[in-house]
Chain A
Amino acid sequence: MQHLDPDRLVLLAFAEEPGNDDETVHLARCPGCRHDLASLRQVAEIGAQGPAASDLPAPPERIWLTIEAAIADSGRSPAPVRRAGRQKRRWLIAVAAVVLAVAGTVVADRIVRRAPAETVIARATLAPLATVTAQASGSVRVLSDGEMRVEVHHLPLTAGFHEVWLIDPDDLTRMVAIGNLPDRPGAVLPVPPGIDMNRYRLVDISDEPNDGDATHSGRSLLRGTLTN
């Protein structure tokens, strides 16, 4: 039995030329050639989908710094990764707790002595949740002086008020209330200083009833993740 020429297989795989009768008959009979052709077709398809090298930008250096830190933490001997992770988490919780404790007293002070810096240190685009009109949108910028600028559009009307939260996406019970939105598109809210925005990075805008319950109502309207 004469198998198909490798060059022909490639041409057939790229669908550059139709198979002639002899080839079609052979392919119907020969599982080996059929398999080769199917594989080459798949590879051609996968290859054409990319990514091309230009679609693979180098990751930011800050990720490497966190890798280095985690490795230094775990020492030179192989150690389970989880330990380092948990230690880091405990540390973060401790910091967050201290921060929350002092936040109340420091915020006012910070606002009065606000630095003129306008550098954006984190931003998020807010998208509506499934239950909310698709037109609703928003954006958040956190400035280096601790201000959060919130802009929202087409939020559903509320009988109560709209509240801004920062949530830990890894543990959705952990959240910090940032403040209420006034009845206009833009608002400036102070972020309690020292909040770890790598952890509390999920921005959430909720519809809160005037029921005196300070916890999250569970009715989220917009969400987005802060990135640097």
Chain B
Amino acid sequence: MDSDDELAACLRDGDEKALRAAYDRYGAAVLYLAQRMLSSRADAEDVVQLTFVAAWTGRDGYDPRRGTLLAWLLGIARRKAIDRMRSAARDDRLTGIVRAQPVPQQEAERPEGIVDRLVVADELGRLPAEQRRTLQLAFFDDLTHPQIAAVTGLPLGTVKSHIRRGMASLRQRWEVDGAASGSRSTGSSRIR
């Protein structure tokens, strides 16, 4: 069950070990999304549970041609988190007993933006080691191509080609998975 395709195939066959493997691989990303959408940690953990249970019962609905397993899981998690937010708001309105906000809210990031960040981060983790390292230096350490060449000892031409190829992979994954998880179903349309 090394590749996503194998994992997805085992999952569709009803192999519980595949669900566990998916949880090990993507549970952290699902929790990250849920926690950023919901202010309560307990709610976020509930959403992780609901997501993987829904993935299990709805496993026939996963179509690898429409996006990666991660994007599919994040799409489910996003809907579960929105349900949770709505039901909390509805309860608040209906009861009228305890009117105030459940917990003081922090400024929330758009779920689409969080999904985008998670799929790009996941793709970054899948790049060949040297490509990944050069891109990490560009992203997180804000180094220029010549600085990356100096730090890694790679020729400048190699750094350039690593970054170009790495960026192409990230871009492709973002375009495929952004659409699959519904993160760009509204708003600006994209030209292919």
Q: Do A and B interact with each other, yes or no?
A: yes
Which of A22-30, A37-45, A103-111, A178-186 interfaces with chain B?
Answer: A37-45
Q: Chain B: interface secondary structure?
A: helix
**Which of chain A's residues have a CB closer than 8 A to the CB of B56?**
67, 71, 74
Minimum distance in angstroms from B118 CB to a CB of chain A: 7
With CB as the reference atom, state the residue of chain A lying closest to B191: A35
In the assembled complex, the Cα of A64 lies from the Cα of B31 at a distance in Å of 12
**A172 and B191 within 8 A (CB):** no
A170 and B87 contacting across the interface, CB-CB below 8 Å: yes
- Is A215 within 8 A of B97, CB to CB? yes
Is B32 touching A47 in the complex (CB atoms < 8 A)? no
Within 8 A of B (CB), among A1-54: 6-7, 10-11, 13-14, 16, 31, 35, 39-40, 42-44, 46-53
Chain B residues within an 8 Å CB radius of A210: none
| B43 interface residue per 8 A CB criterion | yes
Q: Are A202 and B120 in contact (CB-based, < 8 A)?
A: no
Q: Write the chain B residue with the least CB distance to A62.
A: B45
**A84 sits at the interface (CB 8 A):** yes
Within the complex, the shortest CB–CB distance from B131 to chain A, in Å, comes to 12
- CA A218 – CA B98 in complex, angstroms? 5
A149 within 8 A of B: no
- Cβ-neighbour of B31 out of A44, A52, A59, A127 (below 8 A): A59
State whether the Cβ of B41 lies closer than 8 Å to any Cβ in chain A.
Answer: yes
Q: Are A46 and B174 in contact (CB under 8 A)?
A: yes
Q: A56: which B residues are within 8 A, CB to CB?
A: 28-29, 32, 121
Given known A43-B170, A79-B57, contact A172–B28 (CB-CB < 8 A): no
Choose from B40, B54, B100, B118 the contact partner of A51 (Cβ within 8 Å).
B118
Q: How far is the CA of A70 from the CA of B156 in the complex (A)?
A: 54
With beta carbons under 8 angstroms apart, the residue of B57, B113, B168 that contacts A74 is B57
Query: In the complex, are the beta carbons of B120 and A43 less than 8 A apart?
Result: yes
Assess whether A78 is in contact with B101, with CB atoms less than 8 Å apart.
no
User: In the complex, how many angstroms separate the beta carbon of B87 from the nearest chain A beta carbon?
Assistant: 7
Query: Is B28 within 8 A of A43, CB to CB?
Result: no
Is the beta-carbon distance between B117 and A204 smaller than 8 angstroms?
Answer: no
Best-surrounded residue of B49, B138, B144, B164 (most CB of chain A within 10 A):
B49
- Assuming the contacts A39-B171, A40-B167, A47-B139, asked whether A129 and B104 have C-beta atoms less than 8 A apart, the reply is yes
- Complex Cα spacing A194 to B50, Å: 24
Q: Does A214 contact B (CB under 8 A)?
A: no
B72 proximity list for chain A (CB < 8 A): none
Verify A81–B53 contact, CB threshold 8 A: yes
A223 and B95 within 8 A (CB): no
Chain B CB within 8 A of A116 CB: no
Inter-chain CA distance A14–B142, complex, in Å, is: 9
Say yes or no for B92: interface residue by CB 8 A criterion.
yes
B48 at the interface (CB under 8 A from A): yes
Contacting residues, chain A, for B170 (C-beta < 8 A):
43, 47
Contact call B117/A172, Cβ cutoff below 8 A: no
Q: State whether the Cβ of A80 lies closer than 8 Å to any Cβ in chain B.
A: yes
Question: Whose C-beta in chain A lies nearest to the C-beta of B47?
Answer: A63
Q: Which residues of B contact A51 (CB under 8 A)?
A: 32, 117-118, 121
Report the bound CA distance from A34 to B189 in whole Å. Answer: 15
Chain A residues whose C-beta falls within 8 Å of the C-beta of B191 in the assembled complex: 31, 35
Give the Cβ gap from A155 to chain B, nearest Cβ, in Å: 15
Judge whether B145 is part of the interface by a CB distance below 8 angstroms. Answer: yes
Which residues does chain A contribute within 8 Å of B48, judged by CB atoms? Answer: 59, 63
- 14 A-B pairs within 8 Å (CB atoms) are namely A7-B160, A46-B113, A46-B116, A46-B117, A46-B174, A47-B121, A48-B139, A50-B139, A53-B121, A64-B27, A169-B40, A172-B91, A172-B95, A172-B102
Sort A-B residue pairs by CB-CB distance and give the 10 closest, nearest first: A56-B28, A225-B40, A48-B139, A59-B27, A59-B31, A129-B100, A70-B53, A227-B41, A67-B52, A66-B49
